[in-house]
């Protein structure tokens, strides 16, 4: 399946009637009345016959107007090394992940450390849907409707101490559930981190779903972070622990090779990866595949207006 024929605006994502009446939708599609604008939803139905709904209110203030990536690409072309290193491995292998029961501990330099199960975490703040551009370090990108609420809501709940400067995210590492842990690519468990102001930024989303459904396992179920102005690997998946620290946390990819992967990992077309340029990207789902025209990558992935002030005065080639 290729791209949809017209841009999907925020107000057009996940119409409730589409989910509630599949037979009507299929008949209408056969008659051509819905057009190509709903093409991604058909691919979703083929992949998930009984998706779990996730109620979220659309937030137009955080909705990219780019064409939305069809669901089948978002859920079958992934980086999730706990389930394998090929892009197709997570979709093939993540079925072994047990997402309930699931708890997340929030600890470190906070006044109110807490352990929450996934249902309590879901109810902590109103759910929003946001359409974000996502950029991978390898040069591909997607546009995804994510469902969650600002991470700042959870941070406010636990009340960090003044000495807390960073937030560390630790993912599940269970060899019984995650075949990729048999490799020694990185030192498991997977760890990521943000500076406190980055974690508090209104764009940073504690994420539980996409396209109005709970997160598929290969996309980081049951809860992950989405940080849209950074390369995708900064958005930690299947989180089990959040820790507030005074010192910069050691993150998995910067430990693996600090020359290639810095702590900040902001999308910056002027800073090349040592093995390839970061100046352009290709959107996954374009019917031309590897022959699709390249898109010029924007500084901070196009979110400079919301985040550039956090890095004022910093040498972004040094602090990459």
Asked whether residue 61 is assigned to any structural domain, the reply reads yes
Tell me the pLDDT of the chain (320 aa) as tens digits: 333 223 333 333 433 333 333 333 333 333 443 334 444 443 444 444 456 899 999 999 999 989 999 999 999 999 999 999 999 999 999 999 999 999 999 999 999 999 999 999 999 999 999 999 999 999 999 999 999 999 999 999 999 999 999 999 999 999 999 999 999 889 999 999 999 999 999 999 999 999 999 999 999 999 999 999 999 999 999 999 999 999 999 999 999 998 889 999 999 999 988 888 999 999 999 888 778 889 999 999 999 999 999 999 999 999 99
Asked whether residue 2 is assigned to any structural domain, the reply reads no
Enter the pTM of the model.
0.85
Where residue 111 sits, what CATH number does that domain have? Answer: 3.90.420.10
For every residue of 208-270, which 3-state class applies, written as one string? Answer: EEECCEECCHHHCCCCEEECCCEEHHHCCCCEEEEEEECCCCCCHHHHHCCCCCCCCCECCCC
Asked whether residue 153 is assigned to any structural domain, the reply reads yes
Q: Which helix or strand (DSSP H or E) is residue 19 part of?
A: helix 16-20
Asked whether residue 239 is assigned to any structural domain, the reply reads yes
- For residue 157, the enclosing domain spans 10-311
The CA distances from residue 172 to 90, 189, 238, 261, in Å, are 15, 6, 6, 21
The CA distances from residue 232 to 8, 31, 167, 216, 229, in Å, are 22, 39, 17, 17, 9
Asked whether residue 22 is assigned to any structural domain, the reply reads yes
Asked whether residue 1 is assigned to any structural domain, the reply reads no
Q: Which stretches of 24-139 are assigned E, i.e. beta strand?
A: 57-63, 103-108, 114-117, 128-135
Kindly report, residue by residue over 222-243, the tens digit of the pLDDT.
999 999 999 999 999 999 999 9
Q: Are 213 and 219 in contact (CB under 8 A)?
A: no
Q: How many domains is the chain partitioned into structurally?
A: 1
Asked whether residue 320 is assigned to any structural domain, the reply reads no
Peptide bond between residue 189 and the one before it cis (omega within 30 degrees of 0):
yes
Residues found in the chain = 320
Q: Report the relative pairing of strands 114-117 and 205-210 from DSSP bridges.
A: unpaired
What long-range pairs does 311-314 form, CB within 8 A, spacing at least 24? Answer: 311/264, 311/266
Asked whether residue 235 is assigned to any structural domain, the reply reads yes
Kindly report, residue by residue over 116-146, the tens digit of the pLDDT.
999 999 999 999 999 999 999 999 999 999 9
Q: Report the relative pairing of strands 114-117 and 103-108 from DSSP bridges.
A: antiparallel
| Residue where the block lists tokens 């939708």 | 25
């Amino acid at each position: 399946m290729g791209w949809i024929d017209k841009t999907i605006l925020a107000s057009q994502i996940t119409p409730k009637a589409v989910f509630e009446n599949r037979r009507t939708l299929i008949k209408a599609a056969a008659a051509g009345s819905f057009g190509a604008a709903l093409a991604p939803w058909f691919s979703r139905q083929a992949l998930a016959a009984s998706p779990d709904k996730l109620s979220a209110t659309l937030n137009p203030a955080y909705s990219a107007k780019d064409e939305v990536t069809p669901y089948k690409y978002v859920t079958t072309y992934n980086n999730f090394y706990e389930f394998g290193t090929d892009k197709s491995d997570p979709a093939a292998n993540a079925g072994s992940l047990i997402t309930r029961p699931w708890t997340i501990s929030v600890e470190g330099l906070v006044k109110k450390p807490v352990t929450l199960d996934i249902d309590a975490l879901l109810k902590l703040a109103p759910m929003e849907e946001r359409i974000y551009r996502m950029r991978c370090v390898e040069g591909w990108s997607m546009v995804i409707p994510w469902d969650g609420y600002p991470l700042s809501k959870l941070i406010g709940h636990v009340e960090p101490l003044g000495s807390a400067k960073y937030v560390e995210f630790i993912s599940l590492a269970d060899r019984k559930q995650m075949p990729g842990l048999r490799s020694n690519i990185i030192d498991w468990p997977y760890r990521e981190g943000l500076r406190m102001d980055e974690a508090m930024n209104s764009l940073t989303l504690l994420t539980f779903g996409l396209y109005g459904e709970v997160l598929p396992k290969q996309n980081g179920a049951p809860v992950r972070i989405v940080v849209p102005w950074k390369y995708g690997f900064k958005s930690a998946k299947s989180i089990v622990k959040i820790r507030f620290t005074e010192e910069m946390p050691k993150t998995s990819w910067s430990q693996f090779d600090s020359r290639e992967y810095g702590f900040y990992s902001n999308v910056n077309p002027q800073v090349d990866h040592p093995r390839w340029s970061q100046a352009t990207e290709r959107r996954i789902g374009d019917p031309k595949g590897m022959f699709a025209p390249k898109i010029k990558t924007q500084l901070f992935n196009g979110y400079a207006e919301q985040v550039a002030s956090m890095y004022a005065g910093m040498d972004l080639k040094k602090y990459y």
